[in-house]
Structure 1
Amino acid sequence: MSEREESSSAMVGALMLLVGGLIGAGVALLYAPQSGDKTRKDVARMAKKARRKTQNAMDAVEDFTEQVTDMAEAVGERASEILETGKDMAYSAKKGLLKAIQDGEHRLERERSRLSKMIG
């Protein structure tokens, strides 16, 4: 699941929870033993409060999503830099190893030549 899908799934879950709470509160108010006028005012007040909370929650989710996206991009860039550095180091080590092998072969050949002159 991608980061966008996870963040949108989290946002949907939060909104569903909030909407469920609002519906439950609305039903409770409608069955409360008070006048219709007072109930309508309470419902209107709760709706305004819920709208503000929903907007705040959505803003927080958007901010969080943006921060996670920025962090993921930064981690990706850093990983690419580390990979390039590793490739460069491996190439340098390979060159050094090949040079050491070639130097060893030359020394071995010189010693072989020197020994064959001594022996025979």
Structure 2
Amino acid sequence: MRHDEYDDEPTVVIEKHSGSVGSFLIGLAVGAGVALLFAPQPGIETRRQISRRARDARDRAMDLADDVTNQITDQIDRTREVVTERVDRAREAVDLKRRQVRRAIDAGRTAATEARVDLERRIAETKAAYQAGARVAREELERGRVGSGLEAGADAGVADLDDDV
């Protein structure tokens, strides 16, 4: 207790410390043990009571341990289910993307094949048209050479056309 200079009344100061549950339980057990030892009953009865209470405390501790074990097991099972579900969803998403990529690759290959075939067809058509045009030009030159007497110049023009084909 403290006294203030201006106050004749005693002041009680209570300091609060946060104690743990473990400290409380230890104090409870010690207090119960002391109470049993000083209780007005014969020693054998006190020992029986202590034994019974110890068994009860052990049973409660076992029940609590079982409850905690069950809660942890349940939480692990729930977590496992969530993780499994998410992994399955991720696998499905990867499979979907893989199928989409395969379809895109197949479509690209098909388009490339079609474009190559179309290009080859156009080249063949162009080549055939060129050859037909060269043949017609050669025939025209030969007709013109016979009729007009052009022999040296006409031969050079036909040779040029033949080289290109």
- TM tier, shorter chain? 0.5 to 0.7
Number of residue equivalences: 86
Partner Cα separation in structure 2 for residue 110 and residue 48 of structure 1: 92
What are structure 2's unaligned runs of at least 5 residues?
1-46, 133-165
Q: Deviations over 1:35-92 (max 9, x none)?
A: 4443322221111111001100100000110011011111111221222222222112
Which among 45, 62, 78 is matched to residue 50 of structure 1?
62
1:39: which partner in 2?
Answer: 51
1:60: which partner in 2?
Answer: 72
Q: TM-score, normalised by structure 1?
A: 0.62
**Amino acid across the alignment from 2:79:** Q
**Deviation, structure 1 residue 116:** 3.9
Q: Share of identical aligned residues, percent?
A: 7
**Amino acid across the alignment from 1:74:** R
Partner Cα separation in structure 1 for residue 119 and residue 93 of structure 2: 39
Q: Deviations over 1:86-119 (max 9, x none)?
A: 2222112211110110000111122223334455
2:99: which partner in 1?
Answer: 87
2:89: which partner in 1?
Answer: 77
Larger Rg: 2
What are structure 1's unaligned runs of at least 5 residues?
1-34
Partner Cα separation in structure 1 for residue 128 and residue 48 of structure 2: 116
RMSD across aligned C-alpha pairs, in angstroms?
A: 1.9
1:110: which partner in 2?
Answer: 122
Residue range with higher mean Cα deviation, 99-108 or 80-89: 80-89
